[in-house]
Structure 1
């Protein structure tokens, strides 16, 4: 079951029928996608993702390329995408304090408002507004204390070259 999809749909106050209508697919087909008995095509995943304002790659995150997944899983690196409103559309390898499903669709300040999350939002916004790469060292208060990250943000583009958000890569630094 794709619990993250079910939770995201409910958080946005949609029924399965509304998502299916918004994605131009049959409700029964959407229900099968949500409960995990069917996998959407890339076209259908894109339609659902557009309606829910997420990245379609979330549907295929279980099928990431093995070298990428092996290299980054349990590493001190977090990779993420957000939309123009700075809401997460995709995240890989988040810090253990964060679970993927509650993060998708939310802004950093909705997850935890502190100087670190506000600084992270600021560099994402700068990358989008300035259409440039932004890099900054940011400290986040996490369960094991104040953790420093080297955060790299850059604009995220659609296939037509329009900025649709920001991509970030954050590397935990040794104390």
Structure 2
């Protein structure tokens, strides 16, 4: 079951029929994709992702290579993509304070409002505007204390070479 997809649909107050129509697929097929009994082709995943403003790779994250998942799971590293509006379209290994189903489609300041989230948003905005990589040390007040992260951000491009957002790799630094 793709709980994140169901949650995202509900948060956007959409029906399965509306998403199916927006993605130009049959509603029953969409329902099977959402409940996990069918996997979409890359073309269909792209159509649904485009309608929902998410990254199509979300449909295939369970198929990431085993070494990649093993190396990064429970590590101090978080990977993410956001669109031009700074809304998350993909994330891997978020801090335990955040649940994937609540992150997608949201901006940092909608998840938590503090100096760290504002600094992260500013960093991503600069990367998108300048189309240049940036690196910054940012601190966040989280449930386990004040955590510092080394955040590397770079522009995210589509296949046509157009900027569509920013990608970040954040590494928690030792206290």
Of the structure 1 ranges 46-55 and 60-69, higher mean CA displacement relative to structure 2 is found in 60-69
The list of structure 1 runs, each at least 4 consecutive aligned residues, that deviate by more than 3 angstroms after superposition, is none
The two structures have a TM-score, normalised by structure 2, of 0.99
Q: Which runs of 5+ in 1 are unaligned?
A: none
Displacement of 1:132 after TM fit? 0.3
The two structures have a TM-score, normalised by structure 1, of 0.99
**SS of the residue 2:150 aligns to:** strand
Question: 2 CA distance for matches of 1:174 and 1:11?
Answer: 35
Q: Which runs of 5+ in 2 are unaligned?
A: none
C-alpha RMSD of matched pairs (Å): 0.6
Displacement of 1:25 after TM fit? 0.3
Question: 2 CA distance for matches of 1:3 and 1:94?
Answer: 16
Question: 2 CA distance for matches of 1:33 and 1:25?
Answer: 11
**SS of the residue 2:118 aligns to:** helix
Give the corresponding residue for 1:84. Answer: 84
**SS of the residue 2:164 aligns to:** strand
Give the corresponding residue for 1:148. Answer: 148
Count of residues paired in the alignment: 175
Give the corresponding residue for 1:101. Answer: 101
Of the structure 1 ranges 62-71 and 20-29, higher mean CA displacement relative to structure 2 is found in 62-71
Say whether residues 1:136 and 2:150 are aligned partners: no
Displacement of 1:23 after TM fit? 0.5
**SS of the residue 2:160 aligns to:** coil
Displacement of 1:119 after TM fit? 0.3
Question: 2 CA distance for matches of 1:150 and 1:64?
Answer: 24
Displacement of 1:152 after TM fit? 0.5
Give the corresponding residue for 1:73. Answer: 73
Question: 1 CA distance for matches of 2:87 and 2:115?
Answer: 18
Question: 2 CA distance for matches of 1:101 and 1:10?
Answer: 11
**SS of the residue 2:45 aligns to:** helix
